[in-house]
Amino acid sequence: MKSHYSIASLKSLLFFLFLFSPSSAAPVGICYGNIADNHPPPSSIVSLLQSNAIPTVRIFKPSPEVLQSFSDSGINLMIGVPNEILPSLANNPVTFSLQWLQSNILDYFPPTHIKYLAVGNEVFFKDPYYTPFVVPSIWNLHQALKTLNLDQMIKLSTPHAACVLGTSFPPSNGSFNNEIMQQMIPLLQFLQQNDSPFMVNIYPFFSYINNKKDIGLDYALFNSQGYMLDNELYYNNLFDATLDSFVAAMEREGFPGVRIVVTETGWPTGGGEDASPDNARMYNGNVVRRARGDVGTPMRPGVGVEVFLFDMFDENEKDGQEYEKHFGVFELNGMKAYDVSFT
């Protein structure tokens, strides 16, 4: 009798079993930025992700082509809700959010594989025009998901830049910038009530290049032989110190149990001093090992932190410094830019 399973469907089944194995540690995903004119088509990327056992991908805005390419892959998505749609989501009835979800996402991608909706990106403090619309948009999208019985499955949050912290050193003194507290407290209340994560983009590379006087390269790369002592806790890397600054900031406002997801982190392979494949390999390799080992941080030892490495490919049309274009983990031909394993 002929088998009803194709080789492709068997690969998808095995990948699905890998994703939901009970022994899986904190997952390590990847960001799929697309500010470029030379990337391979989305349809060719699924096999690259599956062959590298990458379970989750962050896309920054819903695209029918991308969503359809991923729809039968078994890969989970974090889907970005663009900043520019936030005023409409916030100021219209929930039916608008429902229609937006349906026509922009659910018509192209199964909800069972949507892990997160990232509502806006780095809005607080960096983009004051959109800041008042973030929390109302989250609530309206939440109500829309509730109408569809998807609110327990798909978690909502908004990724922050590290600058939302007013104080970050030492980590135990972590506190949010006073200018955003009017929006931050309602957001934290939503996250706590709905078991949603606090999302943050963390780049020790940027902190290092902007403050070499106080931050050593080894400390940024998880390669320091020394320690910083804070409240009887030892820190030997900037990644942990930054995460715990956010832990302390949330605890300071009365929200100690909200988990953290690192929605972007990475190290460039070129375009500036200390941007190299070797340093990217060392940094991202350590991030992956710590996540997969559920190492946690000094304030939350043994609590695995889900991370998304930035970025899948270099982005040749990005603005800013030259190194902004060189965060790709993979070459355009699908080969790795340096040796890093997601498992």
| CATH code (residue 211) | 3.20.20.80
Closest of 197, 175, 161, 309 to residue 246, by C-alpha: 175
Whether 208 is covered by a domain: the verdict is: yes
**24 — pLDDT class (breaks 50, 70, 90):** low
Q: Which residues are catalytic?
A: 122, 264
Residue 21, domain member (yes or no): no
Q: Which residue spans within the chain are E strands per DSSP? A: 28-32, 56-59, 76-81, 114-119, 155-157, 159-161, 165-167, 175-176, 198-201, 228-230, 233-235, 260-265, 306-309
How many distinct structural domains can be found in the chain?
Answer: 1
Domain range enclosing 33: 27-325
- Does the residue 110 lie in any domain? yes
pLDDT for position 214: 92
pLDDT of residue 66: 95
* Residue 143 resides in a domain: yes
Q: If 0-12 CB within 10 Å is exposed, 13-18 middle and 19+ buried, where does residue 21 land?
A: exposed
The confidence score (pLDDT) of residue 343 equals: 79
- 227 confidence band (pLDDT: 50, 70, 90): confident
| CA 80 – CA 58 distance, rounded (Å) | 8
Quote the tokens at residue 230.
Answer: 């804070």
Q: In the numeric block, which tokens belong to residue 274?
A: 């200390």
Please give the mean pLDDT across all residues of the chain.
Answer: 91
Look at residue 125 in the predicted model and tell me its pLDDT.
83
Between 27-41, 152-166, 218-232, 269-283, the lowest mean confidence (pLDDT) is in 218-232
In a domain, 8, yes or no: no
**Beta-bridge partner residues of 159:** 199
Is residue 3 in a domain?
no
Q: What is the pLDDT of residue 150?
A: 97
Distance CA 13, CA 36 (A): 32
**Share of residues in the chain with pLDDT > 70 (%):** 93
Angle between helices 94-101 and 134-147 (to 10 degrees): 70
Q: Say how many Å lie between the first and final Cα of the chain, rounded.
A: 37
Residue 19 within a domain = no
Give the pLDDT confidence of 117-166 residue by residue, as tens digits.
999 999 998 899 999 999 999 999 999 999 999 999 999 999 999 999 99
Range of weakest confidence among 3-17, 30-44, 175-189: 3-17
| pLDDT exceeds cutoff 80 at 25 | no
Provide the pLDDT for residue 26. Answer: 82
CA-based angle 335:341:343, to the nearest 5?
Answer: 135
Note the pTM of the prediction, 2 decimals. Answer: 0.91
In a domain, 219, yes or no: yes
